[in-house]
Amino acid sequence: MDFGVIHSIYTVVVFVSFLGIIVWAYSKKQKARFDEAANLVFADEQTPPQESQTPAGSKQA
């Protein structure tokens, strides 16, 4: 096999993989999952806040 043939096969494989990722990302089955992930930034934290935080360098009594 010539280097040109190997390079051509590699290019086709990468292009087909790219098209597969595009189809997967824009499929309607993934929309709900991606919408949920996009809204995670706005979700409230589930852990309760710390009772008290002391500034750095101060002593606790």
> Residue 12: how many CA atoms within 13 Å on its side-chain side?
6
User: pLDDT for 3-43, tens place per residue?
Assistant: 999 999 999 999 999 999 999 999 988 888 989 998 988 88
Secondary structure of residue 32 in the 3-state scheme? helix
pTM, two decimals, is: 0.55
Nearest alpha carbon to residue 5 among 13, 38, 60, 49: 13
d(CA 38, CA 33): 9
d(CA 31, CA 27): 7
Annotated domain spans of the chain: 3-43
